Amino acid sequence: MTVADGPLEWLALARGTLNRVALHRRDDAWLEAAWADPRSRVLVVEDGQVLVTHEPAPALVFVPPDRAPGGDRWLLGVDDDGTAYFGVPGPLPAVEGAEPAGLRRVGALLADRDSGLLTHLVALEHWHATHRFCPRCGAETEVTAAGHVRVCPKDGSQHFPRVDPAVIMLVTDADDRILLARGPQWPADRRSILAGFVEPGESLEQAVAREVEEEVGLAVRDVRYLGSQPWPLPQSLMLGFTAKADGDVPLRPDPEEILDAAWYTRDELRAAIDAGEIVAPGPLSIAAQLIMRWYGADLPKMPPF
């Protein structure tokens, strides 16, 4: 079996379908009309949790604008039929049959529109909660652009939602084995591919090569981009790559970042999962999708999320 060609086909958190209508974010008349429209839907978020129903299938539970908590209203987008969707931070309303859930639990289970809405909303909530003050002068900033900009009332500077780019790479050797490693804080049966944040002044390809060299002492070539998904847990954008390592260079795991690292054939990975030595990653992560693209099928014993 060879590594499949082409980009990643399905990424749990990159499935949003709404038009974000950014041009309406500063149009107060449009925003007021949309809020006054009883067909508009509001998703309330509290500490990363929203209301979800599991019957008949996992879906977000919305409330009409007049049942939403007061305060900020963040415009998330508009559906094909013109329905507007807002996100509002505040206490979750009581809705029969609904229960609180977060992105990690339901992001892979929700249908495309709802997965995209939740991904957008929890990213905004975290940003607002952690970026209240102006990084230039320390004044408390004000929300504008329907939740997508904060502006400083003292110096007028504008501040946009933060996204931290991180590369994640499936490294193969000359025998088409993959490199899996365990981070120091991880449970004993957890393994994944290597990943790390992009540094200032660095290209994505350079970040891939640097992280692999730092974490396991390998040089890589043929760095290829395969796809991305937002990972607002709390504010990353995961950029997925493949890379190739040559020769029979011994792995030198950096003890601060990697507890152990090893090469796996497909048979060895399946055997390790079957034996319970490794727990397969869930479908939410881009790591799982990169590993499955190499593996050529769903991994055995994959958890539902």
Interface contacts to Zn ion, rule CB under 5 A: 134, 136-137, 139, 152, 154-155
Task: For Zn ion, give the closer residue by CB, 17 or 157.
Answer: 157
Task: For Zn ion, give the closer residue by CB, 128 or 266.
Answer: 128
Task: For Zn ion, give the closer residue by CB, 95 or 151.
Answer: 151
Task: For Zn ion, give the closer residue by CB, 144 or 265.
Answer: 144
The rounded distance, in Å, linking the Cα atoms of 209 and 15 is 29
Q: Which residues contact 75 (CB under 8 A, 6 or more apart)?
A: 21, 24, 25, 31, 34, 84, 85, 86, 146, 147, 148
Cα–Cα distances in angstroms (integers) from residue 10 to residues 47, 168, 195, 227, 305, in the given order: 27, 16, 20, 9, 14
Task: For Zn ion, give the closer residue by CB, 103 or 152.
Answer: 152
Question: Residue 24 in contact with residue 146, Cβ under 8 Å?
Answer: yes
> C-beta of 150: minimal distance to Zn ion in Å?
10
At 44, phi and psi to the nearest 5? -90, 140
> C-beta of 139: minimal distance to Zn ion in Å?
5
Task: For Zn ion, give the closer residue by CB, 150 or 191.
Answer: 150
**Bond prior to 56 in cis (omega within 30° of 0):** yes
Cα 8 to chain centroid distance, Å, stands at 15
> C-beta of 132: minimal distance to Zn ion in Å?
12
Provide the token pair at 293: 């693209």
Question: Residue 69 in contact with residue 12, Cβ under 8 Å?
Answer: no
> C-beta of 159: minimal distance to Zn ion in Å?
9
Q: Compute the residue count for the chain.
A: 305
Q: H or E stretch including 213?
A: helix 204-216
Task: For Zn ion, give the closer residue by CB, 161 or 196.
Answer: 161
> C-beta of 138: minimal distance to Zn ion in Å?
7
Can you tell me whether residue 39 is helix, strand or coil? coil
Q: Which residues contact 255 (CB under 8 A, 6 or more apart)?
A: none
Task: For Zn ion, give the closer residue by CB, 64 or 153.
Answer: 153
> C-beta of 131: minimal distance to Zn ion in Å?
12
> C-beta of 240: minimal distance to Zn ion in Å?
37
The rounded distance, in Å, linking the Cα atoms of 210 and 5 is 25
> C-beta of 89: minimal distance to Zn ion in Å?
23
